[in-house]
Amino acid sequence: MIERLAVIGVGLIGGSLARALRSAGVVGEIIGCGRSPANLELAFDLGVIDGCTRDPAVAVKDADLVFLAVPMGAMRATLERISGQLRPDAVVTDGGSVKGSIVADARAVLGPALPRFVPGHPIAGTERSGVGASFPELYQHRRVILTPLPQTDPTALARVRLMWQTVGAEVSEMEVAHHDEVLAATSHLPHMLAFGLVDALARMQGNEEIFRYAAGGFRDFTRIASSSPIMWRDICMANAEALSHVLERFGEELTDLAGTIRRGDGEHLLEIFSRAKSARDAFIDRQIADPLVALPEPIGADEPPDRRTGMEPGSGRSGPGGGADDQMPC
Ligand SMILES: NC(=O)c1ccc[n+]([C@@H]2O[C@H](COP(=O)([O-])OP(=O)(O)OC[C@H]3O[C@@H](n4cnc5c(N)ncnc54)[C@H](OP(=O)(O)O)[C@@H]3O)[C@@H](O)[C@H]2O)c1
């Protein structure tokens, strides 16, 4: 049972966890924290949180569990703000998409609270943002990766593991650097391809015609280019090394493909496409047998709208960093 949960960043990821824990009946009080009063008020009106503040230090007061779900670029400042304000037994965890950078931040900032910090990453999401996009089933039958440190307190780790299991997730553990390499390839690279493709086409002459005749395949492939630009800028910057490496490798593959087409080497094209088709078919077959095989972050988690609030998320929520205020019913 969680007595008091502090959710710093009540968006898709933080809001969905709050909703799921409340649905499971395992949380007493939920305090939300963010910058814009509008998003916090919406969270309160939707029953996602019981009270709110714009100051992380106020949010974590008396909380026994703290969940950080702000964009990666805001993690360091958030950790700095809560450091020294935590209850001595409070467990802190996060949902950030990159683990190396937040672990470095936590090591630099958390001091004696470091053993009770459990880095985590739910492999679940959609291309939408804000509390309006959150829904309690987001984590059901999804993987959550925890990347504990050598000094992580086993009790804190067990508590976070149980929290995710309670909301229906399958929890596994991974080493921090390995997590960032795997996610660079399976999630961050596909997002770069979608953003890059749509941006390139949008800047081409005659792009209106290109978009007019684009069909379902284009829509499927580019859906994730509707994801939050701020979130993805932060992910790229936090995982720059692993992501640049995989992007360079993929660039070489594309150059080879272009050369093969230019040479008119149909046999080699057939070889590439057949290999890719078999790999994807096998992946889909494994996914049917075990839905947890998939590692889609925002990819593939397109929930039907009736499972959400139906509200368009994010719009007009992104005011400048607000000043501290006291905790308030929203
Ligand atoms: N979306 C996904 O598919 C997905 C999947 C797995 C993990 N993640 C990770 O989960 C985290 C949250 O992502 P999300 O999709 O939930 O994003 P989101 O829907 O945009 O929510 C982010 C929340 O953080 C608040 N926030 C934004 N900037 C802030 C700042 N500078 N200081 C304090 N609060 C701030 C936002 O509210 P205000 O704007 O009102 O402050 C909002 O409540 C990110 O670290 C992301 O990498 C995302």
Percentage of residues in the chain having pLDDT higher than 90: 80
Span from the CA of 112 to the centroid of ligand 1 (angstroms):
26
Decide: 145 and 120 in contact? Cβ < 8 Å.
yes
The pLDDT tens digits of the residues spanning 270-283 come to 999 999 999 999 99
pLDDT of 317 > 70? The answer is no
Q: How far apart are CA 239 and CA 177, in angstroms?
A: 10
- Of 52, 70, 228, 311, the one to substitute when testing ligand 1's pocket (max ligand atoms within 8 A of C-beta) is 70
pTM: 0.89
| Encoded tokens for 5 | 């949960």
Q: Does domain 2-176 have CATH number 3.40.50.150?
A: no
CATH class of 178-291: mainly alpha
The pLDDT tens digits of the residues spanning 169-207 come to 999 999 999 999 999 999 999 999 999 999 999 999 888
Q: How far apart are CA 126 and CA 107, in angstroms?
A: 30
- Of 231, 302, 312, the one to substitute when testing ligand 1's pocket (max ligand atoms within 8 A of C-beta) is 231
| Encoded tokens for 246 | 């995989």
Q: What is the overall mean pLDDT for the chain? A: 89
Beta bridge partners of 30: 5
Measured CA to CA in angstroms, residue 300 lies from 149, 187, 307 at distances of 30, 11, 15
- Of 19, 35, 68, 146, the one to substitute when testing ligand 1's pocket (max ligand atoms within 8 A of C-beta) is 35
Nearest-atom number in ligand 1 for the CA of 318 is 39
- Tell me where in the chain the CATH 1.10.3660.10 domain(s) lie: 178-291
Q: Which residues line ligand 1 (CB under 6 A)?
A: 9-14, 34-36, 39, 69-72, 74, 95-97, 121-122, 125, 129-130, 228, 231, 235, 297-298, 317-318, 321
Q: How far apart are CA 114 and CA 153, in angstroms?
A: 9
List the residue whose alpha carbon is closest to atom 3 of ligand 1. Answer: 125
Any idea which residue has 């994730």 for tokens? 224
| DSSP state letter for 328 | B
Q: Helix or strand or coil: residue 91? A: strand
List the residue whose alpha carbon is closest to atom 39 of ligand 1. Answer: 318
Q: Helix or strand or coil: residue 35? A: coil
Decide: 32 and 10 in contact? Cβ < 8 Å.
yes
Span from the CA of 8 to the centroid of ligand 1 (angstroms):
9
- Tell me where in the chain the CATH 3.40.50.720 domain(s) lie: 2-176
Span from the CA of 275 to the centroid of ligand 1 (angstroms):
37
Percentage of residues in the chain having pLDDT higher than 70: 88
Span from the CA of 70 to the centroid of ligand 1 (angstroms):
4
Any idea which residue has 């936590």 for tokens? 106
Decide: 99 and 121 in contact? Cβ < 8 Å.
yes
